[in-house]
Structures are given as structure tokens and as C-alpha cells.
Chain A
């Protein structure tokens, strides 16, 4: 302990931090030069096809400058960079309202898993157009009876010649209607327990027998679809992983991003916007910002945001040092989803009856009504309840829920 006084010395930046900071500044300058032509007012009121086209152009420009898929290999058109560089770029890119949503799943999960497991000829053919944004890939996982419990999926794949024939339905598939390719988990053996009978493929979304029907959400987002498979043929060379090993590949797909970067409000207006609203709103003849309940809510939101910022910062430090980030990062989605809904409701309270109005051109990131109206952050990618279970079991080591389907052949569960 005698040499501990050195704790008080200012920290000297190590070269790696310098390099990352330079990368950030370069990215910031590059974005400042190019992003305005693809974001903000340019996008207001654009129909989906034109916004997707704008997004493809943005993705192509990024790819030409090494920002298209920062962590993917250069030989397929990626940036060949590090996870931290990707995080830094994403943080900077999130400052703009860019048409990147169409590619976020494609380039985060299906394309990377495809590039890990597909035969080389396919990788060379399909990698570059995906990274340039010419192709969008979708992820065909969930089904009507398999959401949180993915291994309960039913879509059948049966052997036929050198390939497989797929029949069934997928649900909640983001951007299937604009996707050229997709990855899919299917049931190839119903006579073994549910996790063991799954097989994973990639497929051409223009294959005969596929029909995509958009799902209208309670808000205007046109992302979700149901996808029907009617005798869809998939060659066996498009299988990723072993026959019966599909569940493992599916989990690997979901785990690819150790640390997915999301904005800190879950696409709702910043806390500062709520404070401004509370300054202007009147309550009991005073600014609503003077009201104790309003102040309590603001303080709580500030504290949660601060805690999450710190957790994120330490996770980045861990990744930079080659360590695994702590499990506490998993609370982020849980807290952000609830906070978006709660602050949205409070903001509407502060508007009084005017809060009823819903601007048809509004977006959740700028408009509290839209942020409140869509609680899907609390559901997509694992509901709050499933996340609580997962945290309890994986982090706190509590026993798994009672699972009556464990070890039972899938066929016996179907009825």
C-alpha cells in the first residue's frame, strides 16, 4: 500500500487510446461532411422505397470508405477494423438521423454468421453486395408459437435430393419485404427434443414459394412481416452448421455483437427535452419544473442515464483491454425501454390535453407522443420478463424455471 499514492497521478493516455480518439475525430469529420445529405430534412416524408434507396446510397458510400461493415473482413468489402472502432463510429453516426435501420440487422447478425460458416464461393459472391447495401439480409427466426422460446419453432425442412424443402411460417421478420437474402432456422427432426432437431440455412428471398406479408404495427413503422414458405427449395450447400446443429448457430448469430451500441434513450427524445417541456408547462401557476413529482422523475431519469453511461464506458474499457465486459450491460435494454415509456407518459401529462395530438410526420426520437405510443423496445429482442429471468439465471445463478418440455421429443409437444 505504500506506493499507492501513485493513484493520484493523472492518467497518461496510452497510444491505443490516442489512435482510437484519432479514429473518432476522423469519423466525426467524415460524417460532418457527408451525413447531412442523407439525414434530417432530406428524409422527412419520404416514402419507404425512396428512403431505402437513400439508405442504400449511404451504405455504399460508407463501404467505399471502410465504414460499411467495420468489423467484417476486408476481402468481402468490410473495414477489417476492431469492435471498438465500430462502437465509436456508431456512437458518432447516431448523432444523425440517417436511414441505417434497414441494414442494422442485416449487417449485425445474418451477414456475419453467413461469412463465418458459408462456403467460400458464396462468401465471395454475396459478401460484397451485402456490405455495399445492394442486398439486405433478414433473419427468419420467430414464429407464431416460438418467440422467446425460439427452440419451439415448427417450420419444417425435409430432405429432397441435394437439398431441402421448407414449409411453414415465420413471424416478426424485420425488413423481409425488402430483403434479397435471409438466414433461417428450421425443424429437420421432430423426433428428438426441441433444441436438437433444428437446422440452419441461408436462402434467396426470391425463391419460388416464399410470400411476404407486411404487418401493420400500432405505429407506422413498416418493418415487420410474416413470411410464408410453401414448398420452398433450398440446396444443401446453403446449410450453415451441422444438420441438427441449428440451435447452436442461432445462438451464435444472436451473440455476434458482444456489445451492440444503441442510443441512450432507445430512440426517444433526450431528458433535456423533457426538462425544457417542464420549464414551459405551467402547473399551479408555476413552471411544472418546480413540481416535486416532476423533479423526482427527472432526477430518477438522470441517475439511471448516468449509471448506464458508466456501465457502457467500463464495458468499452474492458473490450479495449481484451477482457470480457461485465454482465451488468444486460440491464440496459430493460431500463431504457421502461424509461422511454414512463418519460413519454410524463411528457404528455405536461402537455395536458394537447398531449392527445399525434403528428403523422412525427418520429419517436423527436416526439414524446410517438415515443410513448410504441413500447416495442420492451418486447423486441427478449421481453422485459424474459430478460429478468435470464439475468436471474445467468447472472445471479438462480434455478431455471420449471420446463415441462425438457428432453421430450418435439413431436409429442406439438399437439
Chain B
């Protein structure tokens, strides 16, 4: 397939997803999700499954559509724009780990239902009391048994499987845990963005499948999640810019659209360049991943840092551009504001990923 065919396939993804969002991502539905402790739009998820969205990035030999991370990137950018919340990143990441694992049993059991969307997966790396999921976990793993806990993870409240990392005698071990078992307790609490269907997980002699081992292998799994998430963040930030621009053109003060004031114009350009830097980083990281460039995890970390900054900034300044409208429940800006912060926190904060980037880029203090 030529690159223009590939581009067309990505356009198709974007169009399909955008059409779906148009039906489901209505202000009423999105606000209803925020108003419950666990907000999850089952009807939207079913529609996404019918479109085959969980299969997009999974290789063809594993039953997927084989569009890889470029396909996932296009998908997540649209998801981010519509500020909907769908567990679409965990499935290809779990598939990646299943396919890389020596043990074929979990792949035989879970790959097909994950790809078909029958099962939902989540990633749960963050731990209570830790700012960085990139350091050695405290969740203890002995053989196939887990004891300990994970902090609130997106979609953990509704997922069938969780991908976690655990400490196995001093080494990091990636584990796939079926959540519907007596040894697993989910705790849900109201949060900043209830549409993320967060839950904290408690494991007491929970049974799980060991997949990959070692900090480097697990770091790469997290970098894949980070990269896909960066596109969701870029989509969200772009939507904030579009939203702020629309309001700045329509809202008048002192006899002119507020978009004529330099304070507003410059604010919007400050959003724009942050988004373009993030997009640049993310596209480069994607190229590096596809091209087998060993620097790709560092580039993915750069993309995450840039995307956190772009989305936080755009969401914050979109509210500011809207003035008092921006702080109402009815207006949309607070959805992005909540989502921007949650996406920044779920996978580990700016500070955590900065350390990962500097280490991967060879700027580690330890090397001093």
C-alpha cells in the first residue's frame, strides 16, 4: 500500500470516529457522565466496538486491523477532540504484551475477546503515595499471585482485565490480571473527571498472568501508552483552541469581538504553538517507533511532556477566554480542563516523565 493509501485509511478512521462522536458526544450525555461516580457510556462503547475500534492497532495476525500506532494515534486524536472517554489504548497495549510474552496461554484465552471488544482492558501502573509509576512498584508478585494495590486507574471500574507491573524479587514484572475474581477489590470514589471510570485496585492473593519482565521492557510498554495518550491530549488541546477561537470571534466587548484584543490573540497563539510542538514531538516519536529507532521511548516521553503542557495550558486558557461563562457547568470548557489534568496524572506526572526523558536522553544526573 502506498503512503497515500495509508493516509486515506487514517482519514477514514478519523471520519468514522468523528461521525460517531457527533451522535454520542453531546453536552447532555457528557455532563451526565460527570454526575455519577463511575461515568461510562456503554452505548458509545458498543458503537465503537461495532466500528472495530479496539482492533485498529492490533496486528492482522492477531486478528486486528493492523494499522498499528499510526492508526491508534489518529483514533485517539479524534477521541480527545470530542472529550469522550473510551478504553481504546489498553487493548492494543495488552495485545502487544501478550504477543511478546513466552507464555501462549493468556494470548490464546484473551486476545480474541479483547480485539472483538467483548472484553475491556485497562492499564493500572500508578501506586498509592507515589508520583511516578516509572519507578519500581510496591505491588508484590510471587509466581502468579499478586498482593498489594494500585492507585485509581482509568476504566478500572468497568474493565475485565488490568495490565499492572509488580515487584518480583527485586525485578519488575508485567502482569495481566482478570479483575472478576475474589482476590480483587475495586474502590471507586468521586474524582475530578468521573467520565474516566476510575477505580483503585486491591489485590489479595489475586491470580494473574506474568507477561514481560524487566524495567526496560515495561518502560517501553508505558512509553507506548504515553504516546497514544499524547495524541488524545493533542486532540483535546486542539478542541480547546477551536472552542476558544469560536468564542473569541462571537463574543463582543467594548464594541468589538474579543478576538481583536491582543491579549486574547496572543493567548490563542500561545495555545497554538504549544499544540504544534506537542504534535511535532508526537509525530516524530511515532516515526521513530515505526522505523525501529531505539530512541523512540525518549521521543515518546518528550511527546508526553509536550502534550501535558499543551493540553493543560489550552484547557486553562480556554476557560479564561470564556470569562464567567467558562466557570459554568453548562459550558464545555470544564470538561477539557478536567480531562487534561486526569490524562496528565493517570500515567504519572510531568515530574516523573521528565526524569524518564532525561535518563533516556543521556542527561541523567547519575552520569555526572
Contacts and interface: CB of A to CB of B under 8 A. Distances in A.
Interface stretch (B27-35, B161-169, B182-190, B354-362): B354-362
Given A295-B358, A331-B273, A307 B281 contact: yes
A3 B272 contact: no
Contacts of B68: 7-8
Given A392-B265, A392-B269, A1 B354 contact: no
A388 B259 contact: no
A30 B272 CA distance: 40
Contacts of A300: 305
A388 B257 CA distance: 18
A401 B263 CA distance: 11
Nearest to A2: B65
B265 A287 contact: no
Interface residues of B, number: 59
A306 B277 CA distance: 8
A348 interface: no
A6 B262 contact: no
Q: How would you classify the secondary structure of chain B's contact residues: helix, strand, loop or mixed?
A: helix
Contact of A1 (B9, B262, B265, B290): B9
Contacts of A243: none
Contact of B266 (A2, A310, A313, A388): A388
Contact of B65 (A1, A290, A385): A1
Nearest to B60: A5
A122 B222 CA distance: 64
A4 B8 CA distance: 9
B308 to A, nearest CB: 10
B283 interface: yes
A223 B279 CA distance: 37
Contacts of B257: 399
A203 interface: no
A314 interface: yes
A358 interface: no
A303 B306 contact: yes
Contacts of A275: 363
A320 interface: no
Q: How would you classify the secondary structure of chain A's contact residues: helix, strand, loop or mixed?
A: helix
A391 B365 contact: no
A289 interface: yes
Given A398-B265, A401-B262, A307 B277 contact: yes
A60 interface: no
A76 B336 CA distance: 57
Contacts of A258: none
B278 A391 contact: no
B245 interface: yes
A311 B273 CA distance: 11
Contacts of A393: 265
Contacts of B269: 388, 391-392, 395-396
A309 B67 CA distance: 26
Nearest to A290: B365
A304 B66 contact: no
Contacts of A304: 277
Nearest to B277: A307
- Most chain-B CB neighbours within 10 Å: which of A1, A2, A298, A393? A1
B331 interface: no
Contacts of B306: 303, 306-307
B42 to A, nearest CB: 25
Which of under 10, 10 to 19, 20 to 34, or 35 or more describes the interface residues of A? 35 or more
B280 A295 contact: no
Interface in A268-303: 275, 279, 286-287, 289-290, 292, 295-296, 298-300, 302-303
B87 interface: no
B122 interface: no
B70 A398 contact: no
B3 to A, nearest CB: 8
A364 interface: no
A357 interface: no
A136 to B, nearest CB: 35
B249 interface: yes
Contacts of B365: 286-287, 289-290, 295
Contacts of B305: 299-300, 303
B212 to A, nearest CB: 21
- Most chain-B CB neighbours within 10 Å: which of A292, A298, A311, A389? A311
A397 interface: yes
A1 B13 contact: yes
Given A309-B284, A397-B245, A398-B259, A7 B71 contact: yes
A395 B59 CA distance: 38
A6 B368 contact: no
Contacts of B248: 398
- Most chain-B CB neighbours within 10 Å: which of A279, A287, A296, A307? A307
B6 A4 contact: yes
- Most chain-B CB neighbours within 10 Å: which of A6, A391, A398? A398
Interface string B226-270: 000000000000000100010011000000110110101110111
A398 B276 contact: no
30 contacts: A2-B65, A4-B9, A5-B66, A5-B67, A6-B1, A6-B5, A6-B6, A7-B6, A7-B71, A275-B363, A289-B365, A292-B351, A295-B355, A296-B354, A299-B358, A302-B358, A302-B363, A303-B309, A303-B357, A310-B283, A331-B273, A331-B276, A335-B277, A389-B262, A395-B269, A396-B245, A396-B272, A398-B260, A398-B264, A399-B257
Q: What 6 A-B pairs come out closest when comparing CB atoms?
A: A6-B1, A307-B277, A5-B66, A310-B280, A392-B265, A307-B280
Interface of B: 1, 3, 5-6, 9, 12-13, 52, 56, 59-60, 65-68, 70-71, 241, 245, 248-249, 256-257, 259-260, 262, 264-266, 268-270, 272-273, 276-281, 283-284, 290-291, 299, 302, 305-306, 309, 351, 354-355, 357-358, 361, 363, 365, 367-368
Given A309-B284, A399-B256, 8 more contacts: A3-B5, A3-B9, A5-B59, A302-B358, A307-B277, A328-B273, A385-B266, A393-B265
Interface of A: 1-11, 275, 279, 286-287, 289-290, 292, 295-296, 298-300, 302-304, 306-311, 313-314, 328, 331, 334-335, 385, 388-389, 391-393, 395-402
